[in-house]
C-alpha cells in the first residue's frame, strides 16, 4: 500500500520532530540533533585549526632551523611566531617549542623508519611537527596527506621509539629529554610604553586590568609585569602603544640620549624596537635614518616603525659600511646607535636559542674563541670605526647582546686609538648601574654590562662622546677666552709657544749671568 507523503504518519512525525519551536505549540525543541551537529562542527573546527597551526609551525621551524644552520637568523623564534603573518599564534608557538624540544628524538625515530628518504624530504619541517603530534601530542583526528601518511605508519614510529628507550636504558620520553633540555629560570617580563601613542599612567591603568604592573626604577617609560605574563595578544601590544622589549635592550637608546630635533643614524636597525624607542625619546621630532642590509629584516623593520607611529624615520635598505661619510645627507648626523650582528649569547634563553640544534654544539667548545665569534668581532670593529668617522657625530653607542669579551671589551680596546684621533672618549652610561666592563684595559669602568642570570638579558653598552672642539688659549682671573681648535689655530698656538719658550730661555740666561 502506498501513502501520500502528506498522509504518511512516519513522515508527519519526522516533520513534527524537525519543525522549528515556533511551529510546535506546547512542545519543547528536541536537543539531540542540534547538539550532535554542534559537536561535529566543533570537532571540524578543532581539526581545521590544528591543520593550519601545523603548517604555520612548519614555516617558522624552517626559518629557525635554516637561520641556525647558517648562523644568520632572520629573527628569534618568538619574533617569527608573533609576526603578523601567523594567525594562530598560541597554537603555533606551542607546536614549534615542543617540536624543537623533541627534535633530537624525532630525527632518530624518523631515521630508523626511513620516512624522510623519499618525497617527504621536501616537507621535512612539516614531517617533524606532525610526527611530534602523532607520537607525543593530543589525540586529534588527522586531516591532510602528510598526517594520513604518518598515521598509517604510526605503529612503525612507536616501535622505533620503543627501541630508542631500550638503547638509552630509560623508561619514558621525559628521561630521554633530560639530556637535551636546558632549564630556564623564571624571570620578570618588561614592557616599554610607546610615548608616541600613550603616556605611562594610561598604559599602567589599561595593563593593570589584566595583570599586576609596576614602574621600573631605572629606565624611563618601562613597566614590569609578573613572570609568565603573556601580553602578545593584548590590544595595546597589537596597536603599538606598548612594546614587549627587555630592560637591557631599552637601556641602549636611553644611553645614546638623543634630543628632539637631532638627526640620528640607527646603523643596524632591524627588527626596529630600538629605532622606535629613539623616535619616542625624540618625541617624533628631528630625523632618524634606519639602515638595514637584510631584505627580510627590512620588512620586519617597516612593520615595527609603522606600528609605532613614528613618522620621522627614513629606512635605507643597504650596507652601513658602504654609507659614504662625506655624503651631504649624513652631514648633520650627530648621534649613531650601532647594535651590530653578534652571537646573541646574552639572550639565548630569552630567544629560546637553547632549543636550536647549534646550542649544544656551541657548549661543547669555547664559543668565545670560535671562528664565528672572531668573524663577528672583525665586522663589529669595522662598523664601530665607520660610525666614529662621520664628521658631525658627537655621540656613538655601541651595544651587543653578547657576554663574550671578544665582542665587547676587546672590540672597544682595539678602536680606542682611532677614537682618540677623532677626539672621542669613553663616557659612563647609567653611572649608578653596578655591573661595569671587565677590567682588561684602563677606562673599562666606563663600560656597562648586564648579566643574563641577574638582569634577564646579557647586554654590553659602550658610549663614545666627542670632546668639545674648543681649547683654552688664554686664562685670566676674571674670564677665559676660547678659540676654535683646528689646523690653523694649532699652528698659531705652536708658534706662540715656541716664541714664549725662546723668550723664557733668554730671560733665564740673563738672570744666571
Instruction: Give binding residues for S-adenosyl-L-methionine as ranges.
Output: 268-274, 292, 319, 339
Q: Which residues contact 152 (CB under 8 A, 6 or more apart)?
A: none
Residue 342 among the catalytic residues: no
Q: Helix or strand or coil: residue 265?
A: strand
Cell of 255: 644611553
Q: Are the beta carbons of 254 and 431 closer than 8 angstroms?
A: no
User: Cis peptide leading into 271, omega within 30 of 0?
Assistant: yes
| Per-residue burial over 146-177, b = 16 or more CB atoms within 10 Å of its CB, e = otherwise | bbeebbeeeeebeebbeebeeeeeeeeeeebe
Residues of each annotated binding site: 268-274, 292, 319, 339
Rg (CA), the chain: 32
Q: What CA–CA distance (Å, rounded) separates 163 from 178?
A: 18
Q: What CA–CA distance (Å, rounded) separates 421 from 432?
A: 29
Cell of 70: 647558517
Q: Are the beta carbons of 118 and 47 closer than 8 angstroms?
A: no
Task: Out of 291, 334, 342, 401, pick the active-site residue.
Answer: 401
Q: What CA–CA distance (Å, rounded) separates 349 from 437?
A: 22
How distant is the alpha carbon of residue 443 from its chain centre?
30
Q: Which is nearest to 111 in space by CA: 66, 58, 170, 161? A: 161
Q: Which is nearest to 275 in space by CA: 246, 313, 225? A: 313
Cell of 44: 571540524
Q: What CA–CA distance (Å, rounded) separates 313 from 265?
A: 10
- The one-character DSSP state at 436 is B
The catalytic site residues sit at 401
Amino acid at each position: 500500500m502506498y501513502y501520500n507523503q502528506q498522509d504518511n504518519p512516519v513522515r508527519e512525525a519526522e516533520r513534527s520532530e524537525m519543525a522549528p519551536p515556533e511551529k510546535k505549540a506546547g512542545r519543547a525543541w528536541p536537543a539531540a540533533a542540534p547538539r550532535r551537529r554542534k559537536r561535529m562542527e566543533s570537532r571540524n573546527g578543532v581539526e581545521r585549526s590544528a591543520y593550519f597551526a601545523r603548517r604555520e609551525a612548519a614555516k617558522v621551524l624552517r626559518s629557525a632551523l635554516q637561520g641556525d644552520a647558517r648562523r644568520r637568523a632572520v629573527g628569534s623564534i618568538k619574533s617569527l611566531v608573533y609576526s603578523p603573518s601567523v594567525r594562530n599564534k598560541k597554537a603555533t608557538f606551542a607546536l614549534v617549542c615542543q617540536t624543537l624540544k623533541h627534535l633530537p628524538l624525532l630525527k632518530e625515530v624518523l631515521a630508523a623508519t626511513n620516512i624522510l628518504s623519499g618525497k617527504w624530504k621536501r616537507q621535512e619541517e612539516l614531517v617533524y611537527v606532525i610526527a611530534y603530534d602523532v607520537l607525543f601530542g593530543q589525540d586529534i583526528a588527522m586531516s591532510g596527506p602528510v598526517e594520513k601518511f604518518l598515521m598509517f605508519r604510526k605503529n612503525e614510529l612507536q616501535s622505533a621509539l620503543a627501541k630508542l628507550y631500550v638503547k638509552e636504558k630509560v623508561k619514558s620520553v621525559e628521561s630521554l629529554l633530560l639530556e637535551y633540555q636546558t632549564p630556564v629560570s623564571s624571570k620578570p617580563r618588561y614592557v616599554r610604553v610607546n610615548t608616541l601613542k600613550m603616556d605611562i599612567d594610561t598604559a599602567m591603568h589599561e595593563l593593570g586590568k589584566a595583570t599586576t604592573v609596576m614602574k621600573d626604577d631605572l629606565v624611563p617609560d618601562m613597566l614590569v609585569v609578573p613572570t609568565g605574563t603573556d601580553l602578545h595578544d593584548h590590544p595595546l601590544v597589537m596597536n603599538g602603544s606598548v612594546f614587549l622589549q627587555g630592560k637591557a635592550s631599552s637601556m641602549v637608546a636611553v644611553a645614546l640620549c638623543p634630543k628632539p630635533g637631532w638627526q640620528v643614524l640607527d646603523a643596524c636597525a632591524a627588527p626596529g624596537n630600538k629605532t622606535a624607542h629613539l623616535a619616542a625619546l625624540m618625541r617624533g621630532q628631528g630625523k632618524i635614518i634606519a639602515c638595514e642590509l637584510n631584505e627580510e629584516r627590512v620588512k620586519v623593520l617597516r612593520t615595527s616603525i609603522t606600528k609605532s607611529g613614528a613618522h620621522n624615520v627614513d629606512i635605507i635598505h643597504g650596507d652601513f659600511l658602504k654609507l659614504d661619510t662625506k655624503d651631504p645627507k649624513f652631514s648633520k648626523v650627530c648621534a649613531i646607535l650601532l647594535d651590530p650582528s653578534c652571537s646573541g649569547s646574552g639572550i639565548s634563553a630569552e630567544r629560546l636559542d637553547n632549543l636550536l640544534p647549534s646550542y649544544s654544539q656551541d657548549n661543547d667548545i669555547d664559543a668565545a674563541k670560535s671562528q664565528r665569534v672572531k668573524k663577528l668581532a672583525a665586522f663589529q670593529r669595522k662598523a664601530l670605526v665607520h660610525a666614529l668617522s662621520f664628521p658631525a657625530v658627537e655621540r656613538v653607542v655601541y651595544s651587543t647582546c653578547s657576554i663574550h669579551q671578544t665582542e665587547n671589551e676587546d672590540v672597544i680596546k682595539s678602536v680606542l686609538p682611532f677614537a682618540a684621533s677623532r677626539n672621542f672618549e669613553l663616557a659612563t652610561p647609567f653611572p649608578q648601574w653596578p655591573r661595569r666592563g671587565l677590567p682588561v684595559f684602563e677606562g673599562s669602568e666606563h663600560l656597562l654590562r648586564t648579566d643574563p642570570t641577574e638582569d634577564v638579558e646579557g647586554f654590553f653598552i659602550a658610549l663614545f662622546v666627542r670632546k668639545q672642539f674648543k681649547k683654552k688659549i688664554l686664562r685670566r682671573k676674571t674670564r677665559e677666552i676660547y678659540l676654535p681648535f683646528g689646523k690653523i689655530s694649532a699652528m698659531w698656538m705652536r708658534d706662540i709657544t715656541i716664541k714664549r719658550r725662546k723668550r723664557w730661555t733668554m730671560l733665564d740666561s740673563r738672570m744666571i749671568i
